[in-house]
Amino acid sequence: MNRLVWIRPEDKVVRVQAGMRWRDLQDVLDPLGLAVRTMQSYANFTVGGSVSVNAHGRYVDHGPVGNTVRALRLVLADGSVVEADRTQQAELFRAAIGGYGAVGVIVEVELDLADNVPIERVVAETTLAGYPAHFDQAVRGDPASVLHNADLLPPAFDRPVSVTWRRTGRPLTETARLVPRGASYGLEQNVLWAVTELPGGPKLRRSVIHPMLLAKPVVQWLNHEASLDVAELEPRTRLMSTYVLQEYFVPRRHFESFARGMGEVLRQQRVEAVNVSVRHSPADTLSLLPWAREEVFSFVLYHKQRTWAAARDVVAQWTRELIDLVLAHDGRYYLPYQLHATRAQFDRAYPEAVALRTLKAVVDPQGKFCNELWARYL
């Protein structure tokens, strides 16, 4: 289930089997001068899995990957195979994108593509109060902007470091077209350990490591930046601790208030936060369970946690605090991570789940398609 079905380079459209990873698709696209239009920051994930969670990345004004999906082929609970898009089987199409497998198995995905272009990195520091205006003027207001995120670093989480990749005609500083497969990331793993375990680690990262990593000019192909390997985030061992993601989607009008509240929770609970990465998305008007009912900034929390039961319980407690915080700011939390939310929090965050339950009762009345997420909340 990981093969190319067909590609039309002249139309910038491709159809793949759902088990193909983004990195495998990039091997097909790069010689043609093409790129994935929207995907996560790392290329290890499957296309079908990304569609099922309606993932997003750093692409300016693109929103989730579902916006680039033209059509899906689904296998339903009765064994039938259906083609779904925005006009035929539209309800199934909307439910499968970001539906976490509730209504069927995605077996093929048809996607819009983009051009592979040279991009340069532009770094700026701003304030929490000034960040939305900075985004409007320097990022969204620049038609050359392609990728963007802003880093909030512990312990204060109050000085966004804006990182934008924009189209450029400048000479390449990195000539490789794709990140090599199977590279060693020992240095990155050691740095990650140091900033979370050593005394003064967060200060070391903010004052020395982070500025050093962003200091030199970089011009590279879009496909190179989009083919990052998640191995660079892997811990040396998970015996005593691991690294975990959470994500919260906040209407832009509440950006500063939520950011300050989140920082306060993280400090009070002594969360071993590595960083919070801020991204942007327009409203999602396609999927049945949208995480962006309106224009939002997303807060991607990357943190370290211990692996024993008591430590997991502590994480669950402050995670529910953050979920309450985002709900109080008219936002939502992202569903694919650890299942710490209460049923009441889920129902408040995703009232559209009622429509998903109704559809599932029709297309999967025996509940054949289930997982830990839907066993708990659907």
Residue 258 φ then ψ, to 5°: -65, -40
Position 180 pLDDT exceeds 90: yes
CA distance 265 to 125: 23
**How many C-beta atoms surround the C-beta of residue 294 within 10 A?**
15
pLDDT digits (tens, 9 = 90+) for 190-219: 888 888 887 877 777 778 777 887 889 999
What is residue 120's predicted lDDT score, i.e. its pLDDT? 98
The stretch 299-318 carries a mean pLDDT of 97
How far is the C-alpha of 287 from the C-alpha of 109, rounded, in Å? Answer: 15
Least confident range from 181-190, 193-202, 225-234, 350-359: namely 193-202
| Mean pLDDT of all residues in 111-133 | 98
Structural contact between residues 48 and 109, judged by C-beta atoms closer than 8 angstroms? yes
Give the whole-angstrom CA distance, residue 26 versus residue 51.
Answer: 17
pLDDT greater than 90 at residue 314: yes
3-state DSSP assignment of residue 143 = coil
Q: Mean pLDDT of all residues in the chain?
A: 96
Q: What is the pTM of this model?
A: 0.96
Report which of residues 202 and 31 the model is more confident about: 31
Residue with more model confidence, 132 or 197: 132
Instruction: Give the pLDDT band of residue 239 (cuts 50, 70, 90).
Output: confident
| pLDDT(371) > 80 | yes
Mean pLDDT of 161-177: 98
State the pLDDT confidence band at 57, using cuts at 50, 70 and 90: very high
Q: What percentage of the chain reaches a pLDDT higher than 90?
A: 88
Q: Which two tokens stand for residue 83?
A: 């083609």
Which is more confident, 49 or 237?
Answer: 49
Q: Model confidence at 48, in pLDDT bands (50, 70, 90)?
A: very high
Convert the pLDDT of each residue in 139-156 to its tens digit: 999 999 999 999 999 999
Helix (H) or strand (E) holding 315, with range, is helix 309-328
Q: What is the mean pLDDT of residues 348-376?
A: 98
* C-alpha–C-alpha distance, residues 166 and 361, integer Å: 46
Average the pLDDT over 330-345 and give the result.
98
pLDDT at residue 201 in the model: 79
| Percent over 70 (pLDDT), the chain | 100
Q: According to the model, what pLDDT value does residue 155 have?
A: 92
| One-character DSSP codes across 186-197 | HHHHHHHHHHHH
Give the lowest-confidence range in 82-91, 231-240, 342-351. Answer: 231-240
Higher pLDDT, 309 or 194: 309
pLDDT (0 to 100) of residue 77: 98
Which amino acid makes up residue 196? T
Q: At what angle do helices 255-268 and 309-328 cross, to 10 degrees?
A: 160
pLDDT of 32 > 90? The answer is yes
- Phi first, then psi, for residue 250 (nearest 5°) are -125, 130
Q: 16 near 3, Cβ under 8 Å?
A: yes
Question: Which residues, in sequence order, are CB contacts of 360 under 8 Å at separation 6+?
Answer: 102, 103, 367, 369, 378
> Does the pLDDT of residue 123 top 90, yes or no?
yes
Average pLDDT estimate for 175-188: 91
* In the chain, domain spans: 4-115
Q: Does the 4-115 domain belong in CATH 3.20.20.70? A: no
Query: What was the pLDDT predicted at 364?
Result: 98
